[in-house]
Amino acid sequence: MTSPGPNPALTELPRPLVAVMSSGFFGFFAHAGFLQGLTDLGLRPDAFAGCSSGALVAAFAAAGVAPQDMLAMFQRLTRERFWDPPRGLSLIRWLVSGLRGRSGYLAGQAFENLLNEFLPAARFEDCQRPCLMVALEIGSGRRVVLDRGPLAPAVRASGAVPGLFAAVPWGQDLLVDGGLVDKAPLMACVERMKPASLVVHLLPSASLETPLAATLGRTLAPLRVHGRAVDAARQQVFQDQLEAVRKRGVRVVETLAQGLPRCGPRSLQRGPAAFAAARRNTLAQLAEVCPTN
């Protein structure tokens, strides 16, 4: 793909500048493509922040892994490497107990082991650039900002989708997916990192891209409406944070991921196409950025 070269309107954005990546189910290929687009445009962030899949890519980027190297790494990922459900007698006991004693289908330890294997940095403090991510503490109901200490458990916690992955122990509490409380951690980023500019990559929730009539017409409609309502609330929180951040004088440039192939545990093969589409999307949208917008 031919790069359009640096965009002065982007390279002259006020510093420090943070790349912020949203939550999005298995959206790490797309976020890596977004960072490749920034590289193509000559924009090098001073720090990285994210939730869920965005936290994963933020960690690798802050640790010094280039987007193309992320792509190569993610392409080698197979479902079996991170899929650690109960098996055999353990599964039978769990089912007979009424699903007691386990907070998610997957333990999540295999995912953390992968992170420890491939992340160049063991701790936030070891990263080449600052990094921040968010998780939700389900006992207290509060947002937890993670920016120091062991890196792999923090990434695991920020992406611990409730029901799918087990919640991650945190003191006397448990942490789950930060995307539940922050679609993208804008305010946490502004309060902790004190940036002058944010470049945000937003992956829309799939439910919000489906016409409402189609949602009602599908099987298990009540559950789908519930999911859509949660996603709509998260989107509103994002918009509220976006407005608040801009009122503080922080320059925000948004990139909305549109029409990208969606990946999942059984569709990782779509990843390279998602990377390429996000890269093109970023180049197209940020090429239109001018000094005043």
What amino acid positions are annotated as catalytic residues? Answer: 52, 177
Coil, strand or helix at 18: strand
The encoded tokens of residue 194 equal 């004190």
Question: b/e per residue, 24-59, with b = 16+ CB within 10 A?
Answer: bbbbbbbbbbbbbbbbbbebebebbbbbbbbbbbbb
Query: Whole-angstrom Cα distance, residue 75 to residue 66?
Result: 14
CA Rg value for the chain: 19
Q: Which of 153, 125, 147 is nearest to 134 (CA)?
A: 147
Q: Say if CB 185 and CB 20 are below 8 A apart.
A: yes
Coil, strand or helix at 253: strand
- Residue-level length of the chain: 293
| Whole-Å CA distances, 132 to 99, 168, 175, 186, 242 | 33, 17, 15, 11, 17
